[in-house]
Amino acid sequence: MVAWLKREMDVPDRFTPRAPVHVTDAHLRWKEGGDVALQGDLVIAAGPRLTMDLVRGHHALEVKQATITAGGHTARLALEHGKGKTLFSFSGILDQATLDRLFEVPPLTGVPIEAGLIEGDLEVGTSVEPPLRFHARGKLAGRDFRVPVAGESVHVESFDLEGDHSRVDVRSADFRWRDRRVIVQGRVEGDPSALHVDLDVSTDRIVGDELHELLERGKELAASDGPRDRVLPTMEGLIRLKAGVLTFDRFAARPLQAAISLTPQRVSARIERGEVCGIGILGSVDVAGGEVGLDLTLSATNGSLDATTVCLTPTQRVSGSFTLSARVLGRGSSAQVARTLSGEFQLVARDGRFQPTPTVDTVLENTFDYLNHSGDFEVTFPDLDREAFPFQLATARGRTDGLTVVLDEVVIESSRLTLGGNGRLDFENDSIDARGVVSYRLPGGRITRRIPLLGSILSGEVLGIPVRVSGSLSNPNVRYLQPADVGTELLSIPARILGIPRSAIRMFTPGMRDR
């Protein structure tokens, strides 16, 4: 009989009463394809007494009265959910032990909470469609309670609510969901247009994948309810959020402070404080009409390049300090917004080292390897498979174009080597197309083996080696740049950086004698 009632009234598993159920006086009204109504007095598992009067329809549940008596305490509940309105009232005292004796499967198995208690007298009701009618009166408080939410259990450590006319003050609500703690304070207030929220929410951790999961659940529930069966009113207002850490994919923002504005048409988050991989993030993210809008400012001053590069690219390490300024904008669907990104950036790093990368092929490593294996030079370029490459200054400036980074200029300065160039990094297609000049300064002596006129250079002169890097970002191809493709722009970089006239730079490419 209990199984039949559970099926016909669509009772969730967590609300299945514990057997045996002793019926002392009951009336059941049931019609195939229609409403199911139950009135009666029940004794659950030889313990709590339950007096109820409820109706379950296709689109609504109405608990006209539910009185629970156990252990010298009495609690009275009423609930109406559906048909464009929601009403909840509670009065009396209800403890966790009574709930555990009522239901076959306790809401949170394996976590003993013996002192759970809810007490007070509170009534809250709202309509769904405008003009919205919202009323509240009374007080309700509790501690150490378990509440089923969306198929999971939330441990409410404590809460204190007070209703007054058209608002509910959340004086405090402290609960644990999964393995994190959440604290809420603020107010919920109704007016004819919407339900206004003004809340402060803090938590130790937010997991981005779980937020996506909750949003998908909300979409499924909204789709299953249908537009005429909506059970929540329109909401708007402000939520001030603080999180110790926000994780998304393999990245973590810590700490995070944001102000989230809600309107019926838009959700906007203003990030007031955030840091990802040692890079500060400020700006806004808004969602409206199926589109995501981004306007973010990224910055760092005297940041740790070692920690940042390990966080962003675990396969490569670069030490030193760095300063970054950047702005990123974009707007599009959640699946396409990355392809709409635009913005500019500038990076300056000082007194660092490119650490050895024996298991990874990088642009810098492949460039040095190509020059070492060419047999054209008597000098040896750094071998990043085995040794670090120190630098005094490294700069990069450019812009983003969707999933492509356009490098207007990149410069790396070390004691004898200077590298300068430009190009494009296409992360969507894992490709690179870049040009650069490797400049080598010696006090004098022989540098190249094959070209007599460049074999010796005068003290203070510089040998420039133009190269092209193309192909896959994960394994780029390096070759000499043809003379016609060198251009004034590339020639000007080492001259400007080293503070020497262009005439002091001897360019070396296959087929060139002297320049």
- For β-strands 235-243 and 195-203, DSSP reports them as parallel
How confident is the model over 204-239, as pLDDT tens digits?
998 877 766 665 555 555 455 444 445 567 889 999
pLDDT band at 145 (very low <50, low <70, confident <90, very high): confident
How confident is the model over 427-453, as pLDDT tens digits?
999 999 999 999 887 655 455 555 444
pTM for the full model? Answer: 0.81
Question: Is pLDDT above 80 for 478?
Answer: yes
Question: Is pLDDT above 70 for 385?
Answer: yes
Phi, psi of 415, rounded to the nearest 5 degrees: -65, -40
H or E stretch at 6: helix 2-8
Could you tell me if residue 444 is left (phi over 0), alpha (psi between -120 and 50 degrees) or otherwise beta?
left
Q: Are 91 and 78 in contact (CB under 8 A)?
A: no
The pLDDT of residue 226:
45
Beta-strand (E) ranges in 19-72? 21-30, 36-44, 49-56, 60-70
Name every residue whose Cβ is closer than 8 Å to that of residue 387 and which is 6 or more positions away in sequence: 356
Other CB atoms within a 10 A radius of the CB of residue 84 amount to: 15
Q: Where are the domains of the chain?
A: 356-515
Question: Is pLDDT above 90 for 400?
Answer: yes
pLDDT band at 513 (very low <50, low <70, confident <90, very high): very low
Phi, psi of 62, rounded to the nearest 5 degrees: -125, 115
The pLDDT of residue 98:
86
Average of per-residue pLDDT across 175-189: 92
> 63 forms bridges with which residues in the sheet?
54, 79
Question: Is pLDDT above 80 for 257?
Answer: yes
